[in-house]
Homo-oligomer: A and B are copies of this chain.
Amino acid sequence: MKVTAVKLHPVAAADPPLRSSYGLHAPYAIRTIVEIETDEGIAGISETYGGEQPLALLEAARALLIGRDVFQLTGLWKSFEEKAEADAREAAGDRSQTWLLPGENPLDRHTRTFAAIEIACLDAIGKALGKPACDLLGGRAREQAAFSAYLFYKHAGGGGLGDDAREDEYGEGLTPEAMVRQARQMIATYGFREIKLKGGVLDPDLEIETIRALQGEFGRAVPLRIDPNCAWSVDTSIRVGEALREELSGGGYLEDPTATLEGMSQVRRRLLEKGIDTPLASNVAVTTFGHVPQAWKLDAVQIVLSDPHYWGGLRAQRQLDHLCSVLGMGVSMHSNNHLGVSLMAMAHAAAACPHLTYACDTHYPWQTAQDEVVAGGRIPFHNGCVRIPEKPGLGVELDYDQLARLKERYRKLPYRKRDDEAEMRKHVDPDWKRMLPRW
């Protein structure tokens, strides 16, 4: 089954004014939908990061794809891996993901490009064989993938501009009380049973207060996580870790409190000295397989938060799951803004990974039916989980009318990459700059 055509669809989906240590989300999140066609008349789809750079990399890979058997990806992986290793050697010591937004990291550009190809090929293979994608990887460790309520401090107002501008069901969320309300709303809709708070936005004491308020509301049965995206110094990280030792126990974790593996390692060591073994998670200090042994040696990261979109696809996620199991590390998945195709790829990846035992992140609640590219509309959640459908491949098809709408939106956008700092300066503070550490 050989690839005969590769179609790349850059799209934009309305996104509310969410905050993080990177700054402010723009009114539209950008993504790329990939479609491959094969000589057997079977197509495959995937979704990946958006904008100029990811698109150019996929465009450059087109020649490697046309004529390739979708079953023959190992050689392609090998050549992409070699390029990635060369990049890593050049960038020695530079943990650039700390400073860049996901999807903009040159260190993962090759595995990211490969992932978009691999997932589309697995979708096509699944369709050819009448098998769900996760069953092509050895079968399921579970029948559904659990996701967590991903809370964001945010300004009032929803995403989109002009005619596209829409109501936002969550409203402003800049206080502990408002965040409890946000969590209640989101859990009422999706049934999530674990909660992650994007931090690094307010003063750490207010973020501590938010976590405590969430625990007050939902009790200890709901694991809590906080991710300030490296906004804290080592000392502040330790202070927060101490303050939240109880709240983050029982399935919780502290994600990327501070920058670099060395910083994370210090936080870990000093928390352990105080008898606090809250695990540290990361999707920033550890973004490629090459980082994992170092993170393990330094005990800097106890839970790797992967992203199949930039670690190399579904088989790579399975390999990461195994690697973490061998090293005694935990594994879960972080998320970026995405639509239904990515959600299904993440669900299949989670289903196939026996060692993945934390609910994965998803931004899905922040997008709406108006911006879904998947035929039949939004993917349903049951008790915070996405069920693996009995359909072949990823189990979803594209809605081409919707795709055309979102492509037209992208065409009209004045930007071609995510820049949360610029948005922050435009709407909140004309002098705003990302500072690590800020506190």
Contact = CB atoms under 8 A, between A and B. Distances in A.
Contact of A296 (B139, B293, B325, B328): B293
Interface string A134-149: 0111111100000000
A323 interface: yes
B74 A326 contact: no
Nearest to A131: B71
A352 interface: yes
Interface residues of A, number: 34
A139 B326 contact: no
Given A71-B131, A78-B354, A327-B293, A138 B315 contact: yes
Interface in A118-158: 129, 131, 135-141
Given A293-B296, A327-B293, A74 B352 contact: yes
How many protomers of this protein does the assembly include? 2
A292 interface: yes
A84 to B, nearest CB: 12
Given A323-B322, A323-B323, A72 B140 contact: yes
A319 B352 CA distance: 14
A135 B71 contact: yes
A122 to B, nearest CB: 10
Contact of A139 (B75, B129, B323, B354): B75
Contact of A354 (B74, B141, B297): B74
Nearest to A68: B139
Contacts of A218: none
Interface string A333-363: 0000000000000000000101000000000
A73 interface: yes
Contacts of A99: none
B71 A139 contact: yes
Given A71-B136, A74-B354, A75-B140, 8 more contacts: A72-B139, A73-B138, A75-B139, A289-B325, A289-B326, A290-B326, A293-B326, A323-B326
A-B pairs, 9 with minimum CB distance: A72-B139, A74-B139, A71-B135, A78-B354, A289-B326, A319-B322, A74-B138, A74-B141, A73-B139
